Amino acid sequence: MTKPKRTAKPTGSAADFIPPRPTLTKLRAAAQHCRGCDLYTCGTQTVFGEGPSRARVLVVGEQPGDAEDKAGRPFVGPSGKLLDRAFDAAGIDRDDVYVTNAVKHFKWAKDANAKRRIHKTPNAGEIRACRPWLEQEIAIVKPEVIVCLGATAAKSLLGKSFSVMRSRGVAVKTELADVAFATVHPSAVLRAPSDERARAEKMFIADMRKVGRYLEKLDGGARKAKRAEPRTRKLSAWSTTAHRSGTSSESTRSSRG
């Protein structure tokens, strides 16, 4: 994989790197060469989203962390492990979740007293430059629910005035999916003081359970609608009258879009 030269000038938008007739595979490959903003000079590699192309839930974080930057995969570090525990507690199948970030490169600064890299919040220009990748991911996956983790992701998708602390765990209408939910980023839970961490984790899991209950409600509505459908009359074995197949013509989730 050839990375863009670090001396190359940023173009100002990831839109300049979107391939024709995009798929997740094509987007992931094209993103490795992105220089829409100057963060490509900072991160080790582009960390693109990961998950099924028809996931019911699309989770958006802020940016990859140190572990994700090294692995080239989203949510594989401590925050990802907490997120997985929350999915399990909420009854959300991890295999039906697509995870990504508003910004695809790790923005960091050196710790003056140690070798570790310290996370820095991406600025508005960097978030705006990276947004075309996220828009393409959402357009292809077509999730039923979007979950925004933290203020950066929430403001990017739900508007600058959106407040996670005022609206956490609340279903919000959006043009991007059926609904969106917002909660804190799991890294914020892990950074909480030791005497507050258990409560912070409990609240985070409670927010994810609201997402799980929303999905269960959708499933229940679908089952009720199916039971309400008129049953197809069974034809006599000797009938030669032309008839429709008993297979439903209703689109399944795998054929959406």
* pTM metric for this prediction: 0.83
Residue 33: helix, strand or coil by DSSP? Answer: coil
The predicted pLDDT at position 44 comes to 92
For 152-163, give one letter per residue: b (16+ CB within 10 A) or e: bbbbbbbeeebe
DSSP collapsed to 3 states, 127-191: HHHHHHHHHHHHHHHCCCEEEEECHHHHHHHHCCCCCHHHHCCCCEEECCEEEEEEECCHHHHHH
> Where does residue 91 fall: left (phi above 0), alpha (psi -120 to 50 degrees), or beta otherwise?
left
Spell out the domains of the chain, with CATH numbers in brackets: 14-189+197-217 (3.40.470.10)
**Band of the pLDDT at 8, cuts 50, 70, 90?**
confident
Q: Which of 88-102, 160-174, 213-227 has the lowest mean pLDDT?
A: 213-227
Place of tokens 């999730």: 143
Decide if 60 contacts 148 (C-beta within 8 A).
Answer: yes
Q: Report pLDDT digits (tens) over 174-201.
A: 999 999 999 999 999 999 999 999 999 9
- Among 120, 117, 178, 193, CA closest to 152: 120
- Among 61, 57, 86, 84, CA closest to 201: 86
Of 43 and 20, the one with more pLDDT: 20
Q: What span, in angstroms and rounded, lies between the C-alpha atoms of 230 and 60?
A: 40
Checking if the pLDDT of 230 tops 70, the result is no
Helices of type H across the chain: 24-31, 66-71, 78-90, 124-141, 151-158, 164-167, 186-191, 194-228
The predicted pLDDT at position 115 comes to 77
